[in-house]
Structure 1
Amino acid sequence: MAGRLFFAWRMFTAAKAQDDRNYNANVETRARASFNPLLHLTGMQFKDRYRISKKVFKFLCKELRSLTNLSSSQRVSLEHKVLTALFFFATGSYQRPVGIAKHTSQKMCSVYIEEVTQALTHKNIINKYIRFPDTPAARQAVSQRFYRKYGIPGVVGCIDGSHFKIVVPPKEEEHLYYSRKHYHSLNVQMVCDDKYRILNVNSKFGGANHDSFIWENSDLNTYMQSLHRNGEIVWLLGDSGYPQRPWLMAPFLDAESNNYNEKHMRARVVIENTFSRLKNRWRCLHKDRVLHYKPVKCAHIILACSVLHNIIINFGVEDTEENIGLQFERTMESDQITYTEREATSDLIRGRILRDQLARRLL
């Protein structure tokens, strides 16, 4: 008898718990439905909260729906999932506060952020929105814009690395991510054009790796070399942390002030400002925040924010407060260790010859 009563009590308790979950889910569903940011927020309020305009948001949802596997579920729309992820990217808050703000449990908030991050880093999205100029005409267009603005010919992009803080990784791989700045990070290599558009992202390496090592092991390095082998004389601009090569122009180290170094510095500041805009618009990447995920997921979040950065540029949305005061901050951060050649290779010699010719042309 006692056993049957206990079994009945267990069944009753389980049924009541399920009823409570269904009730809470219905309450949250009604709460989400009762507040529509597109309707109840002004354009300025929407941008302050999600860092993009309503027009860009509608376009983004359309792209993700058509180009990726992201879709609405029975209770939650695709738009709500995207808003949840955007709120996290924009504020850098932990998932629980984000979930409360979006009437979503912490567990489901994590699921939505993961789904949207995966969608934003889907190959269809990446191939469309983060593209290094892949034709001679496209590279010439970028080069001409750099020449008109900064007076340096042949430039198809500026390159640099920046550290993005992450939580302490597992002990067996922790040494790969502990940077010389005395925190754990990803050292992310990016290339941008004159319009601050991100052309290439390499987020695979931990903060213990130097910029030059990441560059030497990047697909873009191989691609730039292939362009030179095919007779196309174009290059990237990098700071003194990069090796001088025919396809990568570094500053002179033995000249404190000359026309080449001055123009080189003015042009290369676009990559500094690109990092500043990216980190300050998407606060989860800001220097005062830490990404509390495994390194691979952190890399995906950085890539997802880079995609959003380029989509915003495509819509011509101007930055306002996002980049105020951050140029100096990034400049101070980028005190790279100067790259030192171990031996005079043929690539170094040809690179120096090309740089000398370029410097004489700029006199």
Structure 2
Amino acid sequence: MADLRGVLTDDEDILEVIDIVSHRRAQKKYQVRTNHFEKWNDEEFRQRFRLSKQAVNFVLEKITEEISHPTQRNQAISAEIMLLVTLRYLATGSFLQVVADFVGIHKSSACRIVYKVCRAIAGLHPTFIKMPVTDDEAQMISTRFYTIARFPRCIGAIDCTHIKISSPGGNQPEIFRNRKNFFSFNVQAICDADLKLQNIVCRWPGSSHDSFIFNNSNIRAKFERGEYRNYILIGDSGYGIRPFLITPLANPITAAENLFNESQIRTRNPIERCFGVWKRRFPILALGIRLKVEKVEAVVIATGVLHNIACMFNEEIPVVNPQEEAAIQFVNEVDDEIVRDSGLVVNNSVRYQLINDYFNRLQ
């Protein structure tokens, strides 16, 4: 019996050691994941995620298949949580750790999720960010612009805005430093009279000039090929005058020229308002995107898609705090040098035809 007890005691000692070691090993912890659709009322939800519950569900339906995990093993993060993590990040510009804690996931998971979801949403841009295709669409957009200040044939207001980023590092970080001395992407956008984005170009660093970005864009090539017929864009003096891109006169003299300038400036106003609304919906665009440079484009395009969806659902513009408002004003003050008219007759002919044949008769 004594020998058997000795053997039993040894086995128990071994089991005890195994039990101690297993308990000392770091156990995988699962944080509690809040159901934010139930926790917040409609207004509280919109303030935290910048979209209504209805709009979030609409987006979720579009991207669930692409972002969902193939199985639900190991408490896989649901598509709903993934989208809310991303929206919270875009709405606050916070560190990923803060966003992760807000929804109850690990920081590394939040990092992967934000980029994955932004890519999925950005992939919807052919549906939600597009120039008019048919004559009826172009005519409808032109009519909406005409109601602002009676400017004819306009189907888009164009401008560039700076999207703040963290220091990109690498071999050439200074090309991202803009005239305001912070790092950014200079993003070109075209919007309609209802502040919906129709075209976004997000691949040029902050030191790039507005006119350079336009000259190297597909939208310029499409207008030159006549794809938009006799319709035109309107822009500020940061662009050179073209037959399809009408800018204001530097020194208007006659009554018709002054009327043209006033109409052009008022009709161009939607793009400036669009930038303000866009950045108030997603303050990360002004506070700074803390991701690698190669991931910035997906984030910007994703916010553009979400902005248009918000417009589609008639979402109210969220209230921003003083810090966010100051950041938005700061990044919006980065202006390019004025580009003087080249004086080419072919470029000026359309503008002076508008002044002489149209605005001269409105007096």
TM-score under structure 1 length normalisation? 0.85
Within 5 Å, give how 1:24-43 maps onto structure 2.
24-25=29-30, 28=31, 31-32=32-33, 35-43=34-42
* Aligned residue number for residue 145 of structure 2: 146
Within 5 Å, give how 1:155-166 maps onto structure 2.
155-166=154-165
Alpha-carbon contact 1:165-1:185 (below 8 Å) kept: yes
- Alpha-carbon distance between aligned partners in 2 of 1:318 and 1:241, rounded to the nearest angstrom: 31
1:51 shift after superposition: 0.9
* Aligned residue number for residue 267 of structure 1: 267
Q: Secondary structure at the match of 1:186?
A: strand
Alpha-carbon contact 1:165-1:290 (below 8 Å) kept: yes
* Aligned residue number for residue 60 of structure 2: 61
* Aligned residue number for residue 316 of structure 1: 314
Deviations for 1:215-257, whole angstroms, at most 9, x for unmatched residues?
00000011112227x8x21111100001111101100001288
Q: Secondary structure at the match of 1:307?
A: helix
* Aligned residue number for residue 251 of structure 1: 248
Q: Secondary structure at the match of 2:288?
A: coil
- Alpha-carbon distance between aligned partners in 2 of 1:102 and 1:50, rounded to the nearest angstrom: 12
Number of residue-to-residue matches in the alignment: 338
1:19 shift after superposition: 5.8
Within 5 Å, give how 1:1-363 maps onto structure 2.
16=23, 20-21=27-28, 24-25=29-30, 28=31, 31-32=32-33, 35-65=34-64, 69-72=66-69, 74=72, 75-122=76-123, 125-227=124-226, 232-255=229-252, 258-286=258-286, 289-319=287-317, 321=319, 329=329, 333=333, 335-341=335-341, 344-345=343-344, 347-357=346-356, 358-363=358-363
Alpha-carbon contact 2:178-2:184 (below 8 Å) kept: yes
- Alpha-carbon distance between aligned partners in 1 of 2:321 and 2:237, rounded to the nearest angstrom: 24
Amino acid at match of 2:77: V
Q: RCO (CA 8 Å, sep 6+): is it higher in 1 or 2?
A: 2
1:65 shift after superposition: 2.3
Structure with larger Rg: 2
* Aligned residue number for residue 5 of structure 1: none
Q: Secondary structure at the match of 2:140?
A: helix
Q: 1:106 to 1:158 in 2, by over 3 A?
A: same
Which segments of 5 or more consecutive residues in structure 1 lack a partner in the other structure? 1-7
1:209 shift after superposition: 0.5
- Alpha-carbon distance between aligned partners in 2 of 1:331 and 1:182, rounded to the nearest angstrom: 10
Q: 1:16 to 1:121 in 2, by over 3 A?
A: farther
Alpha-carbon contact 1:152-1:362 (below 8 Å) kept: no
- Alpha-carbon distance between aligned partners in 2 of 1:243 and 1:187, rounded to the nearest angstrom: 17
Alpha-carbon contact 1:273-1:330 (below 8 Å) kept: no
1:178 shift after superposition: 1.4
1:279 shift after superposition: 0.7
1:113 shift after superposition: 0.6
Amino acid at match of 2:139: Q
1:166 shift after superposition: 1.0
Amino acid at match of 2:297: A
1:322 shift after superposition: 5.6
Q: Secondary structure at the match of 1:140?
A: helix
Tell me whether 275-284 or 311-320 shows the greater mean CA deviation. Answer: 311-320
Tell me whether 135-144 or 155-164 shows the greater mean CA deviation. Answer: 135-144
Q: 1:249 to 1:330 in 2, by over 3 A?
A: farther
Q: 1:295 to 1:259 in 2, by over 3 A?
A: same
Alpha-carbon contact 2:233-2:246 (below 8 Å) kept: yes
Alpha-carbon contact 1:132-1:199 (below 8 Å) kept: yes
Q: 1:18 to 1:266 in 2, by over 3 A?
A: farther
Q: 1:80 to 1:254 in 2, by over 3 A?
A: same
Alpha-carbon contact 2:179-2:334 (below 8 Å) kept: no
Q: Secondary structure at the match of 2:189?
A: strand
Q: Secondary structure at the match of 1:252?
A: coil
1:39 shift after superposition: 1.4
Percent pairwise identity:
27
Alpha-carbon contact 2:191-2:197 (below 8 Å) kept: yes
Deviations for 1:306-356, whole angstroms, at most 9, x for unmatched residues?
100000111122325369989x94896154311135x54454243444443
Q: Secondary structure at the match of 1:209?
A: coil
- Alpha-carbon distance between aligned partners in 2 of 1:172 and 1:12, rounded to the nearest angstrom: 53
Q: 1:330 to 1:234 in 2, by over 3 A?
A: farther
- Alpha-carbon distance between aligned partners in 1 of 2:103 and 2:241, rounded to the nearest angstrom: 50
1:105 shift after superposition: 0.8
Q: Secondary structure at the match of 1:227?
A: coil
